[in-house]
């Protein structure tokens, strides 16, 4: 009799817990997507800036005289009506000031059981300088001859065909650079760093690639001339290029020069291997 009573009590408690959890599960399940297209004049050689908290940023350079931006807004809420209303409250515009064109995003106040992300897809003059930042999302840039500064906290960073200087930062995400020509500064905490220079690139003055958890792979320009400092804690260092050792050399640390040592190359990881090609 007592056993039956305990079974009923356990069943009753389980039902109560299930009901409580069901009532607490008020996650935003309904999604509404909205796009906004804006454009503005942007003279070659000017700067372009964009910042979004949740969302990716993609920028492509072209032979154009203006900036064409498409913002994709994704709003989530408990109902379709709430999600649509939330998306409609987001405003995106381009503002010119002191030779720079900036993206301004106005979001509604953050509410419980609601979320908004704004991703940007931009086509601009290839000669522009870029200043891009997002917190949760990838950054992708291609065909830019100006300088590039790109930052994300959670997401990968990918750049292709960049002639100017690149400064790239991520915390959780890999950094990949292909067909670059200028100075390169790339830093992430969790992720690999891979940089490949164009075969027509001149020897840059500085290359600095850093990660804590991940490998580093550097394909140098044909006529690289630089002082090399490479180090890892857990991993190996391999070079296809002849390095004239000027300091210590070992499995996890190399110091020396390639060519006449005019520039400076610093490669550092804690957990991962380093490859120089």
> pLDDT tens, 69-90?
999 999 999 999 999 999 999 9
- For the chain, what are the domain ranges? 26-124, 156-277
Q: Are 130 and 141 in contact (CB under 8 A)?
A: yes
Query: Which pair of tokens denotes residue 99?
Result: 């030779």
d(CA 5, CA 207): 73
* Interval 174-212: pLDDT, tens: 999 999 999 999 999 999 999 999 999 998 889 999 999
- Mean pLDDT of the chain, nearest integer: 90
Distance of alpha carbon 259 from alpha carbon 48, whole angstroms: 37
Q: How far, in Å, CA of 44 to CA of 146, rounded?
A: 9
- Coil/strand/helix, residue 236: coil
What are the tokens at 18? Answer: 């299930």
Q: Check pLDDT > 90 for residue 68.
A: yes
Model pLDDT, residue 167: 98
Percent of the chain with pLDDT strictly greater than 90: 79
Averaged pLDDT for residues 56-68 = 97
Residue 13 has pLDDT above 70, yes or no: no
Greater pLDDT, 9 or 22: 9
Contact present, 34 and 89 (Cβ < 8 Å):
no
């Amino acid at each position: 009799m007592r056993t039956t009573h305990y079974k009923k009590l356990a069943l009753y408690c389980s039902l109560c817990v299930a009901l409580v959890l069901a009532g607490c599960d008020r996650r935003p399940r309904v999604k509404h997507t909205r796009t906004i297209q804006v454009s503005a004049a942007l003279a070659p050689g000017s700067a372009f800036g964009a910042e979004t908290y949740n969302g990716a940023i993609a920028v492509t350079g072209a032979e154009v005289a203006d900036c064409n931006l498409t913002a994709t807004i994704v709003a989530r809420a408990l109902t379709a009506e709430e999600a649509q209303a939330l998306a409609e409250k987001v405003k995106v515009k381009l503002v010119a000031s002191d030779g720079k064109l900036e993206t301004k995003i106005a979001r509604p106040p953050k509410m419980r059981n609601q979320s908004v992300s704004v991703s940007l897809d931009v086509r601009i003059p290839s000669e522009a300088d870029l200043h891009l930042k997002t917190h949760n999302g990838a950054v992708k840039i291609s065909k830019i001859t100006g300088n590039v500064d790109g930052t994300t906290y959670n997401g990968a960073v990918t750049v292709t065909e960049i002639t100017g200087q690149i400064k790239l930062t991520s915390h959780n995400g890999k950094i990949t650079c292909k067909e670059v020509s200028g100075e390169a500064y790339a830093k992430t905490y969790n992720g690999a760093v891979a940089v490949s220079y164009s075969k027509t690139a001149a020897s840059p003055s500085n290359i600095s690639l850093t990660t804590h958890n991940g490998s580093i792979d550097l394909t140098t320009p044909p006529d690289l001339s630089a002082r090399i400092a490479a180090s890892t804690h857990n991993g190996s260092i391999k070079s296809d290029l002849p390095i004239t050792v000027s300091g210590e050399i070992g499995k996890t640390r190399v110091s020396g020069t390639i060519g006449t040592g005019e520039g400076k190359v610093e490669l550092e990881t804690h957990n991962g291997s380093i490859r120089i090609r």
